Each structure stands twice: as C-alpha cells, then as structure tokens.
C-alpha cells in the first residue's frame, strides 16, 4: 500500500516509543537553552582587550578574503543589502528620536506625584530585572549603559550638560548627607587612591597646571578669610582698611595673589639654584619652595612661617637628612620648636675672619643663599625693612645654655681663661661643635665654640688678631 511505504533509508530502522518523562526532560533542556546572540554577547563581555582586538582582526581578514572572491553580481547585492540596512537603521533612529522627544515633553508637564510614581515604578522594575539576570547580563548591561551615556554626552548641548551636572551634584550631596561614618571613611579612602593614581600618571605640564590651580584656590581662600575677618572686626590684620575692589584688582594683577603675605606671592622672578659640595647637594630652591607652598597648611606669625620654611628646605639640601641637625639647633622657648641658629653661626656672622675658616664656609653660604631667596620671594630686599630685620634676628639668634647644643657625655676639657676688666670677653662652652671643612669637604668636630663680643680694647697677651693673620 502507498500509505504504508517507507523511505528506503529508514525501512530497516526499528521504531521505538519514547516515554513521557524523556520527552518532558528534552523539552526542558530546549527551553533552558539560550539564543546564540545572548551567548555571543556574554562571551564578548568576558573577553579582554587583547582578545577583542584579535577577534576583530580575524573578522576583518575573513571579510576581506570573502569580498575578494565574490563576483560582480554578488558585490552589487551586498552593497544594496548594506544600503537597505543603513536606511532602516536611520529610520529607526529617527523614530526613536521622535519617541524620546514626545516622552520628554510628557515628563516636562507631569506633576511631582506623577514623577515620583514613575521613578518608583522604574526603580522596582530595574531591581527586579537585575535580580533575575546573571553576572554576565549585569556586566553587559553596565557596558551598554556606559556606552549610551558616553554617546549622549558627546551630543548634548550646554543646557543639557549643566542640567546633568546639577542632578549629579544633588545626588552626591543627598548621598553624603545620609552616609554613615564607615561609608564616609571608605569614600575618602577611595577618592585618595583615585587621586594618587591620577597624579602618578600625569605629565609635567598637567602637574604644573594642577599646582597653579591649587595655588589660585588657596590664595582665593585666604583672600575670602581676610574679607570675612574684616567684616567681623571692622579692620584688617595690618590695621588698614581693605578696599575690596582695589584688593581684587591687585590680586588679578598678581595672578590671584595677596599683597603683604609671606610665602603667598607670585612665583619668584629669579631662579635660585644652589650648587653644593658634600655634605650638601645641588638643589633648585624654587622647586622646593613651590612644593612647600602647596603642601603647607598652617597659620601663625610670619617668623614661624619663615622658620618652618627653613626647616622644610634644610633636609632637601644636605645629602644625608641627619646632617640638617648638625648645622642647626632646635629651640624650645622662643620659637616653639622651630629652627634657630647655633652659636657657631652667630660667631661666623659676627666674628672675625679666622672663625670662618674654623667653622666652614659651606653652611654659611647655604643660610645666606636661603636668606637671599626668602627676601626675593617676599619682594622685600631692602636691608632696612621689617622682614629683613626679622630674618636677621632669626639668623643671629643665640639660644641660652639650656637651649644650646647638647653636651656630650665626655666633652674635651677646656681651660677656663681669667679675663680682666679691659679685655674682650671670650665665652667658652664645654660642648663639641660639628663643622664642615670647605677644602676637604669633610665633617669634623672641634672641642668648643666661641662667641666673641668685640669691644674697643686691646687684646690680652697671647690673643692677638693682626691684619696679617686675618688675611691668611
């Protein structure tokens, strides 16, 4: 019979009946299978940048070989098909653009209750969708959202950009108001790490621009603080009335700086480079000053700022940071743990020429070089000015017995000299002094330091300072 005829290929094949359980399991497997496009998108989301570039290169090479082998008719069909796809895509984009415009008009006319209800519905739907989706789908969604936001920011107008930035600021402000202490600490740590990574990869030009912006921001903050102080007290710190317009014009002329502010003026017009010999090294004081001015966050008297800057720059000049304490002394009473000059430097500044050979010229040149730089930066190079007097007072300051050098455990014995009434007073301390040999460049110790107070009297027997000795 015709109805009972079988295909020759299946004539000898035995017919087996499937059980209901096996049919349901196969149907479940078919339902659980994902479309090929979804699997492909998931695989693309997991691949690295090198894998993506390699895949695109292989596809391009495969497409190039296929196009090289096609005939003229196949080429015309391909171009027609691509043109039709492009027109369809443009039509779809125009349709979506019209729908977005209509939706934007509808949202502009909705009330606050309708907007809140719509946003709540969107949040619930997004949360439910994220719970149902897996890790790959979520990563794919995040990548698509980033790409969509990036394309929108490229085409957005100035008004749209301002509106978007205002919304983002409001969201961040609301989130920071409701965050806990742990969340705040974590956010600050993340921001610091992000800033550190960004600064590690910035170019010298970007770093210079960033430092300039920070300087202008800091000076503006100081300027506003001064204006607020004047509003509260009715007078400025200098005792003069501050004219806001005049002060602002002066700040604009000096790139946003304030006059009469130590270490707050414009960058130095001269470059101070110290070419040192051991134990000192070559250093650009302008760069050190620029770093100190940006990182310094303190208030106080001008003398304190001056001493803090000297304390900041000394470790940058010496090869070994421990040597910075050998040419300076810490003072406890007068300058509140700031730097002062030891007795040997005062003797160099005030004493005869033979003490310069004893104590060394290098440390003296360092301090004089720093002093010249400070006077130049502050725009106060007049020797009779207040700042010059303050600087001279710091350089010539001599600590008292308790604030001076630390007495060594076994100081060398120094004979005491009996002075008559008409002889110059030579004050001898029983402590060793570290000095620098300007010729050999070595650090040595002498048994004692002497501070000489010159008077118009004859020297005692055995202590003569002839002109010939000074010239030698």
Q: How far apart are CA 418 and CA 414, in angstroms?
A: 13
- pLDDT tens for 90-118 read 787 888 888 888 888 888 888 888 988 98
Q: What is the pLDDT of residue 137?
A: 78
Q: Which of 237, 217, 215 is nearest to 227 (CA)?
A: 237
Q: What is the pLDDT of residue 177?
A: 86
Q: What is the pLDDT of residue 385?
A: 52
Helix, strand counts (H, E) of the chain: 17, 8
Does 15 map to a domain?
A: no
Does 391 map to a domain?
A: yes
- pLDDT tens for 377-388 read 665 555 555 555
Does 138 map to a domain?
A: no
3-state secondary structure of 446: strand
Q: Which two tokens stand for residue 41?
A: 């998108």
Q: What is the pLDDT of residue 389?
A: 54
Q: How far apart are CA 443 and CA 365, in angstroms?
A: 16
Does 237 map to a domain?
A: no
Q: What is the pLDDT of residue 342?
A: 43
Number of domains making up the chain: 1
Does 83 map to a domain?
A: no
Q: How far apart are CA 369 and CA 314, in angstroms?
A: 12
The dihedral over CA atoms of 303, 305, 311, 313, expressed in degrees to the nearest 10, equals -120
Q: What is the pLDDT of residue 3?
A: 45
Q: How far apart are CA 30 and CA 467, in angstroms?
A: 112
Does 184 map to a domain?
A: no
Q: Which two tokens stand for residue 186?
A: 């974590």
- Strands 426-428, 450-452: pairing is antiparallel
Q: What is the pLDDT of residue 364?
A: 56
CA dist list (Å): 213 to 86, 100, 203, 318: 47, 40, 15, 31
Does 434 map to a domain?
A: yes
Q: Which domain holds residue 302?
A: 262-471
Tens of pLDDT, residue by residue, the chain (472 residues): 444 444 444 444 444 444 444 444 554 554 456 678 778 888 888 888 888 889 999 999 998 898 889 899 998 998 888 888 887 877 878 888 888 888 888 888 888 889 889 888 988 888 888 787 777 777 888 888 888 888 888 888 888 888 888 888 888 888 888 888 888 888 888 888 888 888 888 888 888 888 887 887 777 777 777 777 776 666 555 444 444 445 445 544 544 333 334 454 456 677 777 777 666 778 887 788 777 766 655 555 555 666 667 777 777 777 776 666 555 544 434 443 333 444 433 333 333 333 333 334 445 566 666 667 766 666 555 555 555 555 555 445 444 444 444 433 334 344 444 444 443 333 333 333 333 343 444 444 444 333 433 334 344 444 344 444 434 4
Does 460 map to a domain?
A: yes
- Strands 433-436, 443-446: pairing is antiparallel
Do 52 and 44 form a contact (C-beta atoms < 8 A)?
yes
Q: How far apart are CA 291 and CA 45, in angstroms?
A: 44
């Amino acid at each position: 019979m015709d109805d009972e005829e079988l295909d020759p290929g299946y004539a000898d094949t035995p017919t087996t009946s499937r059980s209901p359980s096996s049919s349901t399991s196969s149907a479940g497997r078919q339902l659980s299978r994902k479309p090929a496009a979804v699997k492909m998108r998931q695989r693309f989301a997991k691949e690295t940048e090198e894998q993506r570039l390699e895949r695109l290169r292989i596809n391009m090479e495969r497409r190039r070989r296929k196009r090289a082998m096609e005939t003229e008719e196949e080429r015309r069909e391909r171009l027609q098909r691509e043109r039709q796809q492009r027109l369809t895509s443009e039509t779809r984009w125009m349709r979506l653009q019209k729908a977005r415009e209509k939706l934007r008009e509808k949202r502009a006319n909705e009330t606050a209750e309708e907007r809140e209800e719509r946003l709540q519905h969107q949040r619930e739907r997004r949360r439910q969708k994220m719970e149902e989706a897996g890790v790959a789908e979520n990563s794919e969604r995040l990548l698509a959202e980033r790409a969509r936001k990036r394309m929108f920011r490229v085409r957005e107008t100035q008004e749209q950009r301002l509106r978007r930035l205002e919304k983002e600021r409001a969201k961040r402000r609301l989130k920071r108001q409701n965050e806990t202490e742990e969340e705040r600490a974590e956010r600050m740590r993340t921001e610091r790490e992000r800033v550190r990574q960004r600064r590690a990869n910035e170019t010298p030009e970007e770093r210079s621009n960033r430092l300039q912006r920070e300087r202008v921001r800091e000076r503006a903050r100081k300027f506003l603080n001064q204006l607020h102080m004047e509003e509260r007290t009715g007078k400025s710190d200098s005792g003069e009335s501050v004219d806001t317009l005049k002060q602002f014009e002066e700040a604009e002329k000096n790139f946003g700086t304030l006059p009469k502010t130590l270490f707050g003026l414009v960058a130095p017009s001269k470059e101070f480079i110290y070419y040192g010999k051991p134990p000192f090294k070559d250093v650009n004081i302008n760069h050190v000053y620029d770093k100190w001015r940006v990182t310094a966050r303190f208030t106080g008297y001008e003398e304190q700022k001056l001493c803090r800057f000297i304390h900041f720059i000394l470790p940058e000049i010496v090869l070994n940071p421990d040597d910075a304490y050998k040419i300076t002394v810490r003072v406890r009473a007068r300058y509140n743990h700031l730097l002062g000059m030891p007795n040997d430097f005062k003797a160099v500044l005030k004493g005869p020429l033979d003490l310069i050979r004893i104590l060394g010229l290098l440390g003296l040149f360092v301090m004089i070089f720093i002093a010249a730089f400070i006077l130049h930066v502050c725009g106060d190079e007049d020797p009779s000015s207040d700042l010059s007097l303050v600087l001279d007072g710091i350089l010539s300051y001599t600590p008292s017995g308790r604030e001076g050098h630390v007495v060594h455990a076994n100081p060398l014995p120094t004979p005491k000299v009996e002075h008559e009434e008409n002889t110059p007073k030579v004050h001898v301390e029983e402590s060793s002094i570290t000095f620098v040999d300007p010729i050999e460049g070595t650090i040595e110790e002498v048994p004692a330091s002497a501070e000489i107070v010159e008077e118009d009297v004859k020297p005692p027997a055995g202590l003569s300072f002839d002109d010939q000795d000074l010239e030698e």
